[in-house]
Structure 1
């Protein structure tokens, strides 16, 4: 492990520890769920290329949504950044631009959150320009 990787890992652990103390354990469990979702859908394309989904949907129970957004309005960005670091650490390639979409839901199975992933269709710049006309 390089010195930079060790430093990144140490910083990530400190960030999670701080977040866990501030927000109890919910965000750390949510981060772990996002990482598991990413890891479990990794596709080995070649010796040097492992592709993972790029679109993540996080449904939060009303109380969890209220708590996380009340304390930090940038929770979506924090989850996206953490997932990006996780993928970089494992050498994953995204199937397209990474997005983490957070919604509130009254119907999550564990009463806290649900995480799902998919591959968002790639839109070429040419196709985007034609659609914008």
Structure 2
């Protein structure tokens, strides 16, 4: 295992530990949902070029959102980094700059979170953690 892979694994483990403290559910669940959303929305442009959306929304129920609010920049960056690594492994190209937006949502289908994606131009990770949905 290379130095970069070991560093990535360490960062992912720290992120997983954060999620574990916030919720009793498996912390990998949200990252897996982001990966599925990415995989489910691929567009093959030509052989060897697969495009995916670049803006991802993670809606969290109020209590989880409130607990993560003080770590908003780190959470958004960790989710963005995990999704970027997934896309790199799969050979995907994002339709623009990648960002993961975390928002509060009083009701989500599974009672914990909801993930959706879209194509959005000119986005950045900074400022993408909103107090309201």
TM-score, normalization: structure 1? Answer: 0.73
Q: Please tell me whether the aligned partners of residues 97 and 121 of structure 2 are also in contact (alpha carbons under 8 angstroms).
A: no
Larger fraction in helix: 1
Structure 1 residue runs without a partner (length 5+)? 124-133
Return the alpha-carbon distance in structure 1 between the equivalents of residues 50 and 120 of structure 2. 17
**Computing the radius of gyration over CA atoms, which structure comes out larger, 1 or 2?**
1
Q: Once the 2 structures are TM-superposed, how far is the Cα of residue 43 of structure 1 from its aligned partner? A: 1.0
Separation in 1, partners of 2:119, 2:25:
29
Match of 1:44 in 2: 44
SS of 1:34's equivalent in the other structure is: helix
Match runs of 1:1-133 below 5 Å = 7=5, 11=9, 15=13, 18-19=17-18, 21-23=20-22, 24-70=24-70, 72-73=71-72, 74-121=74-121
Q: Give the 3 Å change call, closer, same or farther, for CA 97–55 of structure 1 in structure 2.
A: same
TM-score (normalizing by structure 2): 0.73
